[in-house]
Amino acid sequence: MDSENWRPSLLYLAFLLAILHLTQNFLSHFFLGNETVRIKKNPNLPLRFSSDGTFKILQVADMHFGSGSLTRCRDVLPSEFEFCSDLNTTRFLKRIIQAENPDFITFTGDNIFGSSAPDAAESLFRAFGPVMESGLPWAAVLGNHDQESTMNREELMSLISLMDYSVSQINPSDDDPTKGGLMTKIDGFGNYDLRVYGAPGSMLANSTVLNLFFLDSGDRAVYQGIRTYGWIKESQLHWLRRVSQEFQGQNEDSLHSTDGISTIKPPALAFFHIPIPEIPQLFNKEIVGQFQEAVACSRVNSGVLQTFVSMGDVKAVFIGHDHTNDFCGNLDGIWFCYGGGFGYHGYGKAGWPRRARIIQAELEKGKNSWMGVQRILTWKRLDDEKLSKIDDQILWQVS
């Protein structure tokens, strides 16, 4: 074939390639908004204890993130921050992740401040940006302010569950395998449990040794004609009791039985936003930390404390909502701990540093292997120059 016959073929090929390129760009812009589609990045699962026998959790309570650098701080001394904004919250989160290097991070509500977040999705991505960048597994529940922007609670939890490295869930899976979906007969959005497995290479490496329960405590409601804060409903407690009972005796033959520890089912920790009505009782009891403001709880007592006591596995509960309370107090053998205000756009107390809570579970060292959880500790870190560590305490240990 001579060169003259090649020319039409090359022109035709170039024409086809040009059409293909234009069509691809058009479809990308039309259907995808000119955005790149990518798959969610998942953490290494399952959650498990480290080879040194520890599992460290960072609790972040009440970030109250708004819209970034334009969102001003509240209740800080003028001498502390000349240009204080949401970026100070972001900086604190990055510092605490680097300093503590946790295995897992939990956000206990009011992650964004709806009234200061014109675009809820954008605020969520900015608020959770540092934890997604870290590549660490994380989970969240909602508070009473998250849904005050452009997304409702179901939409918020759906988006959070789809974010990079998030292990959050919208709600539990349905018991009926034929339905193949989420449980519909449960109140709220963000009720789920996460199981933490034993240390790698240990005899319990494939067993759950710690449970993490997450509950949606709601936002606001009207009860007997009076407006009040939300509460955990009976449907949620019913689900919680059922999950806890599933572990009754699951490892009775193998869990600790050869190393002198008699735990039948693994200990559990619970996380939600709004405190229960019994918390004010701690004002006149011995606590670790500071009780600086009235407890803003629901008028409805739905029996959360009684449920936890009857379950027997919940050793400590971690809450938020009241920013200047950061104490731990014991109710009927269960510790209830505030995270303390973390975010700079949420209210606080001038001269009282923002703070975060750390929870660390430690395994019992057996003769030849790490065993079940031996004790659970907690402390707090302040957002000061040294990230000061305060209020170390043991919440639970095997007797």
Convert the pLDDT of each residue in 252-306 to its tens digit: 444 444 444 444 689 999 999 999 999 999 999 999 999 999 999 999 999 999 9
Shared domain check, 87 and 16: no
Over residues 355-364, the mean pLDDT reads: 98
Say whether both 135 and 164 belong to one domain. yes
Q: What is the pLDDT of residues 206-227, one digit of tens each?
A: 999 999 999 999 999 999 999 9
**Is there a single domain that holds both residue 73 and residue 146?**
yes
23 and 78 fall within a common domain: no
Range of the domain at 33: 1-37
Residue with tokens 């090929």: 13
Q: Report pLDDT for 66.
A: 97
Contacts of 388 by beta carbon, 8 Å cutoff, 6+ apart:
353, 381, 382
Statement: residue 154 has pLDDT above 90: yes
- The pLDDT confidence band at residue 30, using thresholds 50, 70 and 90, is very low
Do 260 and 356 share a structural domain?
A: yes
Amino acid 79: pLDDT: 86
Higher-confidence residue: 34 or 321?
Answer: 321
Treating both helix axes as pointing N-terminal to C-terminal, what angle do 120-127 and 86-100 enclose, rounded to 10 degrees?
Answer: 40
> Which carries the bigger pLDDT value, residue 118 or residue 24?
118
Tell me: do 100 and 230 sit in the same domain: yes
156 and 72 in a common domain = yes
Rounded to the nearest 5°, which phi and psi values hold at 216?
A: -90, 110
pLDDT at 29 (0 to 100): 46
Burial tier of 108 (Cβ tally within 10 Å: 0-12, 13-18, 19+): buried
Work out how many domains the chain is built from and give that number.
Answer: 2
Indicate if 153 and 110 belong to the same structural domain.
Answer: yes
pLDDT of residue 80: 83
Residues 71-94 pLDDT 10s: 999 999 988 888 899 999 999 999
State whether 192 and 338 are in the same domain.
Answer: yes
Are 4 and 79 within one domain? no
Per-residue confidence band for 322, with pLDDT thresholds at 50, 70 and 90: very high
- Is-above-0.85 flag for pTM? yes
Mean pLDDT to the nearest integer, 95-109? 98
Contact in structure between 376 and 397 (CB atoms under 8 Å): yes
Write down the residue that tokens 């000349």 correspond to: 82
Complete edge-to-edge strand list for the sheet that includes strand 138-141: 138-141, 104-108, 54-60, 355-365, 370-382, 389-397
Q: E strands along 111-234, which residues?
A: 138-141, 192-197, 208-214, 220-223, 226-229
Distances (CA, A) of 66 to 60, 85, 135, 155: 16, 9, 23, 18
Statement to judge: residues 25 and 52 lie in one domain: no
% pLDDT > 90, the chain: 79
Mean pLDDT calculated for residue range 343-360: 97
110 exposed, middle or buried (CB, 10 Å; 0-12, 13-18, 19+)? Answer: buried
Mean pLDDT for all residues in the chain = 89
Q: What is the pLDDT of residue 20?
A: 56
* pLDDT tens, residue by residue, 155-211: 999 999 999 999 999 999 866 545 557 777 899 999 999 999 999 999 999 999 999
- Average pLDDT rounded to a whole number, residues 133-148: 97
Whole-angstrom Cα distance, residue 322 to residue 109? Answer: 11
Between these two residues, 39 and 99, which has the higher pLDDT value?
Answer: 99
| Per-residue burial over 192-226, b = 16 or more CB atoms within 10 Å of its CB, e = otherwise | bbbbbbbbeebbbeebbbbbbbbbbbbbeeeeeee
| CATH code, domain carrying 116 | 3.60.21.10
Are residues 90 and 14 both part of a single domain?
no
Query: With left for phi above 0 and alpha for psi between -120 and 50, is residue 98 left, alpha or beta?
Result: alpha
CA pair distance 213, 195, nearest whole angstrom = 9
The predicted model gives 26-43 an average pLDDT of 64
Mean pLDDT for the stretch of residues 137-164: 97
Residue 151: both structure tokens together:
């997304």
Instruction: Write down the pLDDT at residue 249.
Output: 56
> How high is the pLDDT of residue 7?
53
**Predicted pLDDT of residue 263:** 47
Q: Which of 231, 271, 236 is nearest to 144 (CA)?
A: 231
What average pLDDT does the segment 320-330 reach? 98
